[in-house]
Amino acid sequence: MPYRFVNVSAGERIATVTLNNPPSNLLTTSVLTELDQIFGELEASDDIRVVVLTATGRFFCPGADMKELTLLATAYQGSELSGRGQALLNRIERSDKPVIAAINGTCLGGGLELAMACHMRVAASGIALGLPEIKLGLIPGFGGTQRLQRIIGPSQAAELILTGESITSEEALALGLLNRLAPADQVLPQAMALARMVTTKGRLATQAALRAIRTGLDSPFAEGMAREAELFGELCETADKKEGITAFMEKRPPRFTSR
């Protein structure tokens, strides 16, 4: 179905989800609603293997709509919005289909929280990234206080969150916040190339890998190891595992069938 603030296209088993809320792609409640609907549909689609999330214009997303923030006057209103954003970003992070953020421009506040919920991030050189909520008397509310420290460590995360200062994409790459940098006009092509690499792998193994990674984030080390062993064992019974080993021995590309 058509959406007002987000564009969706698909091809080669890859869905491209594009923020299109001019002039700067603010993360309004309407955008959150559309993204939630879209990712729900993509989760249910057997034709889609990977999702690439990007944006139109010069901005990826500079964060929330200030007009909407001024309307938050009670603890209930604030918590409700925070919970709504967290639920969407949790859906993205917990998807069995890899989601790659193609960050084409400025990425701040809720925009960076959205990007951090993706499994991988490719960004344009020379852009600004940050969580400036502290400058508004707030804190990140869509999971930023939790995801950033898991990605770059608690000390570095505390500095960015407590100062509210932005960093360049080059600095973000050095911190491990980004996977790759590219010239602005090559961000989406590089993200798509990464997506195509993933689509050549077996769907069952891809899902199992994401599930194992998620368990490691949510559970003690021993539980993560046990889950990894369980998933590894399940894959050993699949036709894809047999085909992968056979193809390797025969020195040819595997033909995975998701069985």
What residues are annotated to the active site?
113, 133
Token couple for 38: 């879209």
Spatial CA neighbour of 113 closest among 96, 131, 125, 128: 131
What's the rounded Cα separation, in Å, for the pair 103 and 115?
Answer: 8
First to last CA, the chain: 31
In contact, 126 and 76? CB cutoff 8 Å: no
What's the rounded Cα separation, in Å, for the pair 188 and 196?
Answer: 12
Question: Token match 């770059």: residue?
Answer: 152
DSSP 8-state class, residue 96 = S
